[in-house]
Structure 1
Amino acid sequence: MVKIMECIPNISEGRRLDVVEEILAEVRQVAGVTLLDYSSNADHNRTVISLIGEPERVVEAAWRLIVKAAEKIDLDQHQGEHPRMGATDVVPFVPIRGMAMEECVDLAKGLGERVGRELLIPVYLYEKAATRPERRNLAEVRRGQYEGLKESIRTSERTPDYGPSVLGKAGAIAIGARPPLVAFNVNLGTTNLEIGKAIAKGIRGSSGGFVNIKALAIDLSEQGLVQISMNMVDTQGTPLYRALEFIKTEAAHFGVPIVGSEIVGLVPLEAMMDVATYYLGVHDFSSEQILEKRVFGF
């Protein structure tokens, strides 16, 4: 069986689409790697990229992307609503077929060592690759963002796993291994960020909410919105509809409407099936009832 691994790099550029295309071109040049999807958000000033292929080829594509992003993105000039600490902010490896998580961890460590040694970019290993318990959580790794890390990186607590304890314009990067997750955002019809913060606090696992949800409130006041931005780390344990219904209930408490939602990047079919069966009230629905699955066998 051919081993297949996915990588979902997030780069800190979502406005200069010509720069995004230059970075994507590096991925497209790697034989055996498929660029599955990418999504740029100007408010977040961030692009989420999904690529897949055999592990060694995916690692090479990730390396080239990191090199080009470091060349093209200056964190001293970067502004956006999404937390970030690096030009390439995060690079997670996800086992898809024929791979154990431990293999993804080893590849993350190998890439991290190379980035630190050759590019002199500080690297933090996170999630399953973390070398410290507190670094399993990306939010903790990225605490203080680029600006705050400039000072705190000199402390023993924030010493990177690879690379120097000093930040250049490319910032730092988190490299790790994790299971698949879904990036799910819900927009509130308000500009009151405090309402968004209260709802995000209520839903995220670290503050007593759903253990499978990481969430923060993002100010999109120029659009007349506040966004609840979530990483759904286990959509079987906590389905998308459960997160949406919780946010609906909390928003109604504040007299605020839900005005839309979005999924950034890719989503497993099973996660969308759960949503459809919940809202349609369908009983005993099976993936075998999906026409394309029966015809094409995917």
Structure 2
Amino acid sequence: MKIVECVPNFSEGRDIEKINRIMDVVKTDEHIKLVNYESDADYNRTVVTLIGDPNHMINLILKMVEVCLKEIDLNKHSGEHARMGAIDVIPFIPISDITMKECISYSEKCAELIYEKYDIPCFLYAEAARFEDRKSLPSIRKGEFEGMKDKIKDPHWLPDFGKQEIHPTFGCIGVGARDFLVAYNIDIATEDESPAKKMARTIRKSSGGFQYVQAGPVYLENRKHTQVTMNILNYKKNPIYRIFETIKMEAKRYHVEVTGAEIVGLVPKDALVRSLKYYYACNNLEFPESISLKEVVQDVKKYMLFRDFDETKIIDYFL
């Protein structure tokens, strides 16, 4: 059976009733499994993780677009996370018995149907990108909803599907295919955003840092502290521990404390095991041949200060 993971992000993280109305469409779908969803008031964004058959997935995504079109007006939206659409991004990720090439095809089909049914322009990104400078979602999204009104009129930024005009309330969407991406944030115990900004610059690829890392600073009003927020695009070539330990080292320079970290959405067990092996070696411990998800959870909390984390944040739990 072909199984994809899809992680649509919609631009609402504060209005609980609105979030519930959007999620009701997902929860009542009998073909697709809702793995989890996480809303953040500071980011004003909800990340939804789904797994299932790719054709049924497209059908559900279309239903989500329809309800978000009714519920979200980006002219009245603000938040710490960059966004260009009411549903901002829709990635297709191969899980079982499906290739990346097939995921690209499904993402193209999804984008085409979104435009045909709802007149919302779509840009293909990551592995589905048809142009080199569209592989990176931040490159497409630069300028956000407000700036896209003019940016989309530039012939260089002609949407892959749609006319050169954003939807007046919804905006536009990035639809793509990619491998697992680890959405990872590190908590810094200060309300001053300057240290987080400098540390983000140290680790991200675009500033000369690590390959496969996109990063930036953010202040969380509800938590009264800052974060270095990032996407790790390839955890095998740049494991989580390496980024975490670099931020801890840099934090000493700015006399601030790293107090925790979080995973947004899901993470493969393999990504955690690769980092835990580093900490076991540092403590002269032999890594077990077989380690349970429960033990993995205990260890990442101990060594990597994960908060709000349990087995249901690990993709293998559902497979």
| Rounded Cα–Cα distance in structure 2 between residues aligned with 1:142 and 1:211 | 20
List 4+ stretches of structure 1 deviating above 4 A. none
Q: How does 1:247-286 map to 2 (within 5 A)?
A: 247-280=247-280, 281=283, 282-286=285-289
SS at match of 2:260: strand
In the TM superposition, residue 291 of structure 1 has moved relative to its aligned partner by: 7.6
Letter in 1 for 2:76: Q
Letter in 2 for 1:156: P
Moved more, 273-282 or 64-73: 273-282
Letter in 2 for 1:147: E
- Per-residue CA deviation, residues 2-48 of structure 1 (Å, 9 max, x unaligned), is 11111000000000122112112212233221000110000000000
In the TM superposition, residue 79 of structure 1 has moved relative to its aligned partner by: 0.6
- Per-residue CA deviation, residues 153-192 of structure 1 (Å, 9 max, x unaligned), is 1111222111222221101100000001111101111222
Partner residue of 2:181?
181
- Per-residue CA deviation, residues 32-79 of structure 1 (Å, 9 max, x unaligned), is 210001100000000000000111111111111111111111000001
Partner residue of 2:80?
81
Partner residue of 2:159?
160
In the alignment, does 2:237 pair up with 1:234?
no
Q: How does 1:99-118 map to 2 (within 5 A)?
A: 99-118=98-117
**CA-based RMSD:** 1.9
Q: Tell whether the 8 Å contact from 2:127 to 2:176 is kept in structure 1 after alignment.
A: yes
| Rounded Cα–Cα distance in structure 1 between residues aligned with 2:36 and 2:163 | 32
| Identity, % of aligned positions | 37
Letter in 2 for 1:256: V
| Rounded Cα–Cα distance in structure 2 between residues aligned with 1:48 and 1:223 | 19
In the TM superposition, residue 289 of structure 1 has moved relative to its aligned partner by: 3.8
Q: Tell whether the 8 Å contact from 1:33 to 1:57 is kept in structure 2 after alignment.
A: yes
In the TM superposition, residue 275 of structure 1 has moved relative to its aligned partner by: 3.3
In the alignment, does 2:146 pair up with 1:123?
no
Partner residue of 1:57?
56
Partner residue of 1:142?
141
Number of aligned residues: 294
Q: Tell whether the 8 Å contact from 2:42 to 2:222 is kept in structure 1 after alignment.
A: no
Moved more, 270-279 or 68-77: 270-279
Q: How does 1:206-225 map to 2 (within 5 A)?
A: 206-220=206-220, 223-225=223-225
Q: Tell whether the 8 Å contact from 2:100 to 2:177 is kept in structure 1 after alignment.
A: yes
| Rounded Cα–Cα distance in structure 2 between residues aligned with 1:285 and 1:207 | 38
Letter in 2 for 1:285: P
SS at match of 2:156: helix
Letter in 1 for 2:33: T
TM-score normalized with structure 2 length: 0.87
Partner residue of 2:244?
244
| Rounded Cα–Cα distance in structure 2 between residues aligned with 1:228 and 1:141 | 21
Partner residue of 1:40?
39
SS at match of 2:228: strand
Partner residue of 2:314?
none
| Rounded Cα–Cα distance in structure 1 between residues aligned with 2:4 and 2:272 | 22
Partner residue of 1:290?
292
Letter in 2 for 1:69: C
Partner residue of 2:306?
none
Partner residue of 2:22?
23
Q: Tell whether the 8 Å contact from 1:31 to 1:57 is kept in structure 2 after alignment.
A: no
| Rounded Cα–Cα distance in structure 2 between residues aligned with 1:189 and 1:163 | 44
Moved more, 85-94 or 209-218: 209-218
In the TM superposition, residue 92 of structure 1 has moved relative to its aligned partner by: 0.1
Letter in 2 for 1:184: Y
Cα distance change of structure 1 residues 195 and 36 upon mapping to structure 2, 3 Å threshold: same
TM-score normalized with structure 1 length: 0.93
- Per-residue CA deviation, residues 103-138 of structure 1 (Å, 9 max, x unaligned), is 110111111111112211111100001111000001
Partner residue of 2:305?
none
In the TM superposition, residue 259 of structure 1 has moved relative to its aligned partner by: 2.0
| Rounded Cα–Cα distance in structure 2 between residues aligned with 1:185 and 1:130 | 26
Which ranges in structure 2 are unaligned for 5 or more consecutive residues?
296-316
| Rounded Cα–Cα distance in structure 2 between residues aligned with 1:82 and 1:121 | 21
